Amino acid sequence: MNATKRIVLIGPPGCGKGTQAKRIEEATGMVQLSTGDMLRAAVAAGSPIGLKAKAVMEAGQLVSDDLIIGMVADRIKQPDCAKGFILDGFPRSIPQAEALARMLAENQQPMNGAIEIRVPDQFIVERITGRYTCAKCGAGYHDKFQKPKQDGVCDKCGASEFSRRKDDNEETVRTRLGAYHDVTAPIVGFYEKGGILKVVDGTQAIDDVTKSIMGVLGSL
C-alpha cells in the first residue's frame, strides 16, 4: 500500500479514532497525529499551550482554533510526517478544516481521504466512561470492550499501572457531544463536498472497524 497517504478520522468522542489510528499506524507506518494527545502532553509539561488549554479541556469544551492550527502546522512540518499521516481529533471545526486545506495546498500535498467513524450518541457514554490506558505505553483499553488478556497487566508492555482521563466522566461527555454536533459535525459535509468522504460503521467490533478502514484506505 502507498504509505504516503494523508487522512482524517472524524467522529464523536469515544467513536474509536485513537484505537483505530494506532492500528493504522502499526499496519502502514503512517504517523498518528492526535491533537488530544499533543494537548495532554502540553498540559503535563506545563507549557504555554498547556496552560491555555487545561481548563477548557477539563470542561469538555473546544480549545481555540488559532492555538490548535498553530500546533498542527508545526507538527506536520516534522520529517516523520513525510511517511503520510492519520489526523485523529483534528480538524474539529470548519475554520480548522479550511486551515488544514491551506497548509497542505502550500506543500502541494493533497488530503487523500476523510473517514467518518459513525457511532450514534447512545453508545458514547459507555465508551467514554469505560476507557482507560496503560500509564507506561499508552495502549488503550475498555472496562467491557477491550480488556487486557491478563487482568491488570498491559498486553503491550506488561506494566500494571493504568490511568483514566480527567475529562472522561459522564457530565463532560455530554458537553463534548454537544460540541461535536454543533461545531465538528459540519466538517463531514465539508469533506463530502470535497469528494473525499468515506463512512464506516463504528458500532462494529473493534477488529471489524479496522478491517473496514483498511479496506477504505486501500481504495484511496
Catalytic residues: 17, 92, 131, 165, 176
Residues in 88-117 at the binding interface with Zn ion, rule: CB under 5 A:
none
Q: Is 32 helix (H, G, I), strand (E, B) or coil?
A: strand
Q: Cβ closer to ligand ADP: 2 or 41?
A: 41
CA 93 to chain CA centroid, nearest Å:
14
Closest approach, Cβ 172 to ligand ADP, in A, equals 8
Query: In the complex with ligand ADP, which residue's Cβ is closer, 14 or 84?
Result: 14
Cα distance between residue 128 and residue 167, in whole Å? 9
Q: Contacts with Zn ion: how many residues (CB under 5 A)? A: 8
Tell me which stretch binds ligand ADP (CB under 6 A): 103-111, 135-143, 151-159, 191-199.
135-143
Binding mask 153-192 for ligand ADP (x = CB under 6 A): -----------------------x----------------
Query: Is 5 or 22 the residue whose CB approaches ligand ADP more closely?
Result: 22
Judged by CB under 6 A, which of 86, 97, 209, 217 binds ligand ADP?
A: 209
* Contact between 15 and 121 (Cβ < 8 Å): no
- Residues 217, 24 contacting (CB under 8 angstroms): yes
Closest approach of Cβ 155 to ligand ADP, in Å?
Answer: 12
Q: Which of 159, 188, 199, 206 binds Zn ion (CB under 5 A)?
A: 159
> Which of 5, 23, 54, 92 is in the footprint of ligand ADP by CB under 6 A?
92
User: What does 134-177 look like in DSSP terms, one character per residue?
Assistant: ETTT--EEETTTB--SBTTB-TTT----EE--TT-SHHHHHHHH
Question: Cβ distance 114 to 7 under 8 Å?
Answer: yes
* Total of residues contacting ligand ADP (CB under 6 A): 36
Tell me if 22 contacts Zn ion by CB under 5 A. no
Vertex 51, ends 46 and 57: CA angle to 5°? 110
Cβ atoms of 85 and 79 within 8 Å: the answer is no
- Neighbouring-strand partners of residue 118: 201
Q: Which is nearer to ligand ADP, 5 or 131 (CB)?
A: 131
How are beta strands 85-88 and 113-118 bridged, if at all?
unpaired
